Each structure stands twice: as C-alpha cells, then as structure tokens.
Amino acid sequence: MKILGIETSCDETAVAVIEDSTKILSNVVSSQIDLHKETGGVVPEVAARAHTEKIIPVVEKALDEAGIGSADLDAIAVTRGPGLVTSLLVGVQTAKALAYAWEKPLIAINHIEGHIYATLFGVEDQEGEQKIIMRDPDSLPAVILTVSGGHTELALIKNAGDIKRLGSTIDDAAGEAFDKVAQLLGLGYPGGPAISRAAEAGDPGKFDFPRPKLDSDDFDFSFSGLKTAVLYKVQELRKNDELNEQTISDVAASFQKAVIDVLVGKTIRAAEENNAKTIMLSGGVAANKSLREELKAQTTAKNMKFIVPPIDFCTDNAVMIAAAAFPKLENGDLADWKVLGVDTTLTLVDLGN
Ligand code: KG4
Ligand code: ZN
C-alpha cells in the first residue's frame, strides 16, 4: 500500500509517499520562509500563489524520489484544515484533481491529527532507508501538547485509535504569539527562532508578564492578553527611551518564560490528572530549546517519559499526513472528491472512543 500525502495548510508545500505505514519513500518540503521574511509574516495571497507554483513540481519530485509512478499509488491524502484558507485550497483542489484523474481514493486529514501521528511514530534509518517505528505501547496513555503557528492543543492518547481532546487555545496560538511579539520587537520572521535567540541574552525575570489561564480548571489556553501586556511594555520602554538591545532581550526572555510556564504547567497537570505515562510534544514551537528542556525536566521529575520527534517532523511535513491516512484507508473512511472542501477552523475531533 502506498499513500501520497499533501500538506499546504500554511507556508510549506509538502508532499510525501509512504509505503505500508512504515517506509518513507519520499519526503519533500518546499518552504516559503524566505518569501515571507520580506513582509515579516505570511501574506495569505502570497502564500497561495507560491503553493500554486510549487505544488505540481513538488508532487512530481516526491514520486521521482520514491521511484514510482502515479499508477503505483493506492490513495491520496490531503490536509483539509485547520490553516489558512488560501493555502489549504491549493492542496485540497490539487488532491481532488489528482484523485479524479488517477482514479484513486481520497482521504481528508485533520492537520492536528497529523502532528499527533508525527509524535506517535519514531523515524529510524535502516540500511539507508527511513522507517517509521511505532512507539512502544507501554508509553501510553500519553498526553500530547501540539504547539505551532496555527494551533495549541492538548490531547490524551489512550492508543493510536483513541485520542481525546483536552483543550486548546481560545485565541492566539502559541507560535502566533511568538511571531507577533517578534514583530513588535522588530526581530523579523519567523518570530519563534528570533525570540529564542534574543532571549538567550535576556533576563527572564526582568518583566513580570501574566501567565493567562495557568491556574484555570480547564485545559484551554489564551495568549492574546500576554501579547497585549508585551505591547504595553514595549510602548512604555519606547516612550522612556529605554528600548535597546538589552531590554529587547529582556522582553523576549520574560515573554518566552511566561509562555513556557503556562504550556508546561498545564501539560503536567493534564498528565497527572489522566494518569499518563508519557508526555509528548509536537508542532513548530517544539523547536524551542527552553520549552523542550523545561518540559523534559518537569516530566522526568514526575517519573514520566518525554518524547519529542526530530525537528523536521515537528514542523509541517507531509509524512505525518500520509501516515495518519493509513488507518483511515483501512477503515474505508474516504472523502468524496466531488464535495470535499477545506475547513479553516477544524479542531481536533475525538478519535475512537
Ligand atoms: O508547525 P509549524 O511549522 O507550522 C504551523 O503549523 O504553524 O510551526 C511554525 C511556528 C511559527 O509560529 C514559528 O514562529 C514557531 O513555530 N517556531 C518557534 C521556534 N521555531 C519555530 N517558536 C518558538 N521557538 C522556536 N525556536
Ligand atoms: Zn502544523
């Protein structure tokens, strides 16, 4: 069984081919980061145009690298949401057209489910081939935190077919907050890596920013108030002529600490309340070294296991989309190319029971 996965929910045009749920035959990611650096963020129309230019060459490259033709495929999987509408449309319309032209079943994937799959599997090099290794079932139940530019989700995984949503952001995603604060501080795009670099020279205790919803009973997050608090602080520093390299670093470090305190605090509590054996981390913000270190330290202090995929599988990729499609193909959970549309606000739906 070979599935071609397509991912275009934000600013990466990604296509991958996976065989029998374990073998990665190809994994092509064409990033638009350089394009969006010019505007300091993703302009949806610009992203869509780049996806439109890249999608067919990227599909061809993925098939070439896999050493197969379209006739060898058993299905086509595509991200249908959440994400930017203009970006999602390119992937979904391409997948629909290919499914029709090549007469293949079509499978619609929730992007967050994809990120969860990327953490549920490990990737190993075996005799020059990349293989997907499913995690030891002893790792489950696990609580997984998925944090990226578009989502902040906490979920409980009892097994691969039983995933329950615990909470999510009620406003900005964690990565979005990083990107917006970086813009406020003039640190450029993408904001996450820029903030973490600036934070290295800063004092995380210098400014006392709020930790929204840290002690609330639910497992939801909120970052817009924190972002506003940073805005006021930057305005105050600027007014007093105190905004300089050091204070920018101090704001970056204090902001990063506030985000990490909330993410780590709520994830640990979710794991304890659900008797989880493992805490998993995924999404682009998982690239943040301080977040990884802090969550790992607190997880191991509670005698739980900590799992984070390699960075390439934390950020957007199509391997996770093709991988998430295998159980759906087996269960006959197919989409109809005539009616499939995008869903920009799709949340993580509970899977299984
Ligand atoms: O998963 P991803 O590649 O795309 C989305 O699905 O959004 O995540 C991108 C997000 C961006 O907001 C970026 O600023 C953030 O991940 N990010 C980071 C770091 N590296 C990337 N955030 C914090 N620290 C980082 N080192
Ligand atoms: Zn993502």
Please report, in tens digits, the pLDDT of each residue of the chain (353 residues total).
Answer: 999 999 999 889 999 999 998 899 999 999 888 888 878 778 889 999 999 999 999 999 999 999 999 999 999 999 999 999 999 999 999 999 999 999 999 999 999 889 888 888 777 777 777 777 777 778 899 999 999 888 899 999 987 778 899 999 999 999 999 999 999 999 988 899 999 999 999 999 999 999 999 999 999 999 999 999 999 999 999 999 999 999 999 999 999 999 999 999 999 999 999 999 999 999 999 999 999 999 999 999 999 999 998 888 888 999 999 999 998 999 999 999 999 999 988 877 655 53
Q: Whose CA is nearest to atom 1 of ligand 1?
A: 284
Ligand nearest to the backbone CA of 117: 2
How far, in Å, is the centroid of ligand 1 from the Cα of 316?
Answer: 9
CB-defined site of ligand 1, < 6 Å: 10, 148-150, 175, 178-179, 190-193, 196, 283-285, 287-288, 315-316
| Contact (CB, 8 A) for 21 and 332 | no
| Contact (CB, 8 A) for 219 and 167 | yes
Q: Whose CA is nearest to atom 14 of ligand 1?
A: 192
* Atom of ligand 1 minimally distant from the CA of 148: 8
At residue 349, the pLDDT reads 67
How far, in Å, is the centroid of ligand 2 from the Cα of 11?
Answer: 10
Q: Whose CA is nearest to atom 19 of ligand 1?
A: 192
Report the C-alpha gap between 327 and 157 in whole angstroms.
Answer: 15
* Atom of ligand 1 minimally distant from the CA of 174: 12
At residue 123, the pLDDT reads 72
Q: Whose CA is nearest to atom 8 of ligand 1?
A: 284
How far, in Å, is the centroid of ligand 2 from the Cα of 115?
Answer: 7
Could you give the C-alpha distances from 240 to 161, 168, 247, in angstroms and in order? 56, 37, 12
| Contact (CB, 8 A) for 133 and 119 | no
Could you give the C-alpha distances from 305 to 141, 166, 186, 276, in angstroms and in order? 11, 19, 38, 9
**pTM, rounded to two decimals:** 0.89
Q: Is the peptide bond before 141 cis (omega within 30 degrees of 0)?
A: yes
Ligand nearest to the backbone CA of 172: 1
Q: Taken in order 248, 41, 220, 351, is the CA torsion positive or negative? A: negative
Spatial neighbors of 127 by CB under 8 A, at least 6 apart, are: none
Report the C-alpha gap between 311 and 306 in whole angstroms.
Answer: 15
Report the C-alpha gap between 315 and 308 in whole angstroms.
Answer: 12
What is the helix (H) or strand (E) element at residue 134, kind and residue range? strand 129-134
Report the C-alpha gap between 14 and 322 in whole angstroms.
Answer: 11
Ligand nearest to the backbone CA of 320: 2
Q: Which of 7, 148, 168, 169 most suits a substitution to test ligand 1, by most atoms within 8 Å of the C-beta?
A: 148
Report the C-alpha gap between 185 and 191 in whole angstroms.
Answer: 10
How far, in Å, is the centroid of ligand 1 from the Cα of 148?
Answer: 5
How far, in Å, is the centroid of ligand 2 from the Cα of 170?
Answer: 17
How far, in Å, is the centroid of ligand 1 from the Cα of 149?
Answer: 5
At residue 310, the pLDDT reads 84
At residue 353, the pLDDT reads 37
Residue 109 bridge partners (DSSP): 79
Q: Whose CA is nearest to atom 16 of ligand 1?
A: 284
Report the C-alpha gap between 313 and 282 in whole angstroms.
Answer: 8
Closest residue by Cα to residue 280 from 161, 154, 103, 123 = 154
